[in-house]
Amino acid sequence: MKLRNTPVLAAILMLAAPVLLAGPISPGQTVVPEEVEDPGYEVEILDSMEGEFSFALGNGFFSGFYETGVLRDPFGLTCEGCLDFFYKVDLSPRSSGALFQIGGGGFSGFETGAAFIFGGDDDEEQVTRAPFDAGRSADGANIAFNFFRPGNVSQIVFPGQQSAYMIISTNATEYERGGLFGMTTSLNQVPQLFLLENVFRPRATQVPEPASLALLGSGLMGMFFARRRKVKPAN
């Protein structure tokens, strides 16, 4: 399984599907993220990081690859020259359960919108999943993209599959390290949250915003519990 690099992501952004502007997402609100298209010019990716993850849960094991970064908004989602933050996960076929959520933290005090974009893969066996909706925590800091609706598991990222690129558009014009990236998976109906610290977030220009594992953890887990009902994890 191969990780994406920034030239590949730029190429994907140039080949995407027809545009639908992402709706704004306020603290405590849930919206349907919309698919965005080819911006028609070269995408400026300012920074990115990618790597592997793995953790154990009971008698199960989860692993895969993640990618996250920040780019100058090519979609016109929030404002000209503003920043978008993107996230993506490839779940290893060896994993013991499915992926229900992807989320980021560090957006308190900023206007945001939720969107996604599909990307191809060199491995034809990989299946890309899009989220049903995106929710923002009550304090406005954390945004989670949800791949599960009660009674519908069609969008869940099962082992051997990958998420689409999740995009959080903002009205920020600067960024910094100190944000959080997380994903929620499960085994035998038990949720597990994987968190990565010190990723990209909008730079706070008015009120300093502390990064907190507890804030993102409780925000993502709360959204997870609100949407999971009678779901059987993948074997």
Query: The whole model's pTM is what?
Result: 0.80
Note the pLDDT of residue 205: 61
What is the model's pLDDT at position 208? 41
- CA triplet 170, 201, 135: central angle to 5 degrees? 60
Neighbouring residues of 60: CB distance < 8 A, sequence distance ≥ 6: 95, 96, 97, 187, 188
Of 18-22, 88-92, 123-127, 149-153, the least confident: 18-22
Cα(192)–Cα(198) distance, integer angstroms: 20
Spatial separation of the C-alpha atoms in residues 197 and 52, rounded to whole Å: 14
Asked whether 64 and 89 are in contact (CB, 8 A), the reply is yes
Q: From CA 113, how far away is CA 82, in angstroms rounded?
A: 12
Pair of tokens at residue 186? 């499960």
The alpha carbon of residue 190 and the mean position of all alpha carbons in its chain are separated, in whole angstroms, by 21
Residue 18 binned pLDDT confidence (cut-offs 50, 70, 90): very low
Structure tokens at 229: 């009902």
Higher pLDDT, 102 or 60: 102
Residue 2 · residue 125 · CB < 8 Å: no
Q: Average pLDDT of the chain?
A: 80
Question: What is the three-state SS of the chain?
Answer: CCCCCHHHHHHHHHCCCCCCCCCECCCCCEECCEECCCCCCCCCEEEEEEEEEEEEECCEEEEEEEEEEEEECCCCCCCCCCEEEEEEEEECCCCCCCEEEEEEECCCCCCEEEEEECCCCCCCCCCEECCCEEEECCCCCEEEEECCECCECCCCECCCCEECEEEEEECCCCEEEEEEEEEEEEECCEEEEEEEEEEEEECCCCCCCCCCHHHHHHHHHHHHHHHCCCCCCCC
* Per-residue tokens: 222: 């709360």
Region 175-197: mean pLDDT is 82
CA dist., res. 182 & res. 121, Å (int) = 22
Label residue 8 by pLDDT band (50, 70, 90). Answer: low
